[in-house]
Each structure stands twice: as structure tokens, then as C-alpha cells.
Amino acid sequence: PEAIELVARRARGSLRDSQSLFDQLLAYGQKEISAVDVHQLLGTAPDERLIELGDSLVNRQPAQALALTNKVLSEGTQIGEFLNQLVDYVRDLMILAAGAHNLQLGSVSDSRRDVLDVQAKSWGLHTVLAALQILTETQLKFARVLSGRSLLDLAIVRLSLLDELDDLGKLTQMLLDPSAGQGAGDTTPKGQPRSGDSSPQKRPLELRPGRPSSPPRSLSTPSPGGLASALDRSEPADAG
């Protein structure tokens, strides 16, 4: 049953692709076809390796993630197929992080949904979106370069160093709107001092009614006669 499920996931609902894969598996000449045979034929990694790598990425362990990647490739997994599996795996994390639990998983068996659900919640939706963008960009570059292994390792390290973007989004919102940082249990009205805050509060300015100020006195212009008499008084008396 596990081998049939792998073929169905690989065919992505295409009956023709399913028949082609079964014909290739039957060419082995074995009486029973196991999941290992399917992975060897397709050049893909088993579900356990994807989940282990997912744990190292979510826990931000770049050294362990690179070691697991090297182990997967040494077991016969093709780089291009493994990159495609990682894209499908992170896509499944995005589905779970977005709450679309009724959609079928495409990277691993549906029996491992609980494990991926824990990883999706730990990483957060925004971080998962950033991880998926990194992998899709790596896919586009993969067909145009010769050093595909370097591109894959670079993507693995970048994924393992992603920050919790969901928390950064909440922090940005708190900086833009300080009132959003009040907890649910904080019932202090906005603008009022919280309990335990001993800092002095500024009193608002109060306008009190007072005596109206008297208007400034106007400067009167002296008459010509008064100005002449003032000049006469200022001249010294004639001694003769």
C-alpha cells in the first residue's frame, strides 16, 4: 500500500503517469514492490528523511541540516528530485499553517500530518512563505547552473537561518500602534497610568479667568503750538 501511495503522489492524479511508473517498477522482475523500490526508481528521498530535515530547519540548525542533506544525496537521491520534494514539503507546511487541514498532503504520507502540523505552527505562516519563496527561486536557478549542489546547500542554510517572521510582524504592529501591545488582561483605559507606575503625571493646563489687561496707551501727537513752547523753554536765556 505504501508503494502504491508513493506512485499516486508522484503521478499527481495522472492515470497515464501512474501506468508508466508501474510498468517501470514491474520491469524489476520482483514479486513484491516496496516503497524503497519506488524511491530508488524515482531518485527521491523517503518521508523520514524529509521530516528529519524539516525538524532541523524549524529548529534553526544549519550544520545538522547540511549533514542530513549530504546523507540523503549519498543514499542515491537526485538533487533535482530532492529539491522538488522540498518544495512540496514546504507547500504542505504552508497549507497547514494557513489552516487548510482538509487538503491532502503531497510530499509525505497523510499519516504524518500531525508531525507536519507541529512544524508548521513552530515556524509560522510568514516564515513558511519566505521558505517557499527561497526554494522556488532555487528551482528557477537550478536549470541554468552547473553547480546544483551549491545552490541546494545555499538554500538549506538560508532556510535554517530564517527568523520568526510572524513575531517580527507583531513587533512592527506594536511599534506602529502602541495600543495593540496592551494585553488581554490589562483593563487600564487608554491614556491612564497603569498600576505600579509611580512616574509623575503631567497635569493639563487650566485656563482661569483673570483681570483683562488694559489696552496700551496711545501716543498723542503734540499740537504745533505746544511743540513751539517746548522749544522756547529749551533755549538758554539771552545774557544781554
> Under a CB-based contact definition with an 8 Å cutoff, are residues 3 and 33 in contact?
yes
Query: ∠ CA(206), CA(212), CA(214), 5° rounding?
Result: 145
Most distant pair of Cα atoms in the chain: their distance: 155
Tell me the C-alpha to C-alpha distance, in Å, between residue 51 and each of 43, 57, 82, 86, 173. 17, 10, 13, 10, 33
Which three three-digit cell numbers place residue 74? 549519498
What mean pLDDT is predicted for residues 11-40?
71
Q: Is the pLDDT of residue 27 over 60?
A: yes
Alpha carbons 153 and 132: distance in angstroms, whole number = 15
What is the rounded CA–CA span in Å between residue 4 and residue 8? Answer: 6
Contact predicate 60/160, CB 8 Å:
yes
Percent of the chain scoring above 90 in pLDDT: 45
Q: Which one-letter amino acid corresponds to residue 13?
A: G
**Cα–Cα distances in Å, from 151 out to 80, 100, 119?**
11, 31, 24
Q: What is the mean pLDDT of the chain?
A: 77
pLDDT at 35: 80
What is the percent of the chain with per-residue pLDDT over 70, rounded to a whole number? 60
What pLDDT shows up at residue 143?
82
Question: What does the pLDDT average to over 120-148?
Answer: 92
Q: Are 102 and 140 in contact (CB under 8 A)?
A: no
Count other C-beta atoms under 10 Å from residue 105's C-beta.
20
Give me the half-sphere count of Cα atoms (radius 13 Å) on the Cβ side of residue 66. Answer: 11
- Asked if 38 and 7 touch (Cβ cutoff 8 Å), the reply is yes
Distance CA 236, CA 67 (A): 114
In terms of pLDDT, which residue wins out, 38 or 213? 38
pLDDT reported for residue 184: 44
Does residue 148 have a pLDDT over 60? yes
Q: How do residues 64-122 score in pLDDT, each as one tens digit?
A: 999 999 999 999 999 999 999 999 999 999 999 999 999 989 899 889 999 999 999 99
DSSP state of 143: T
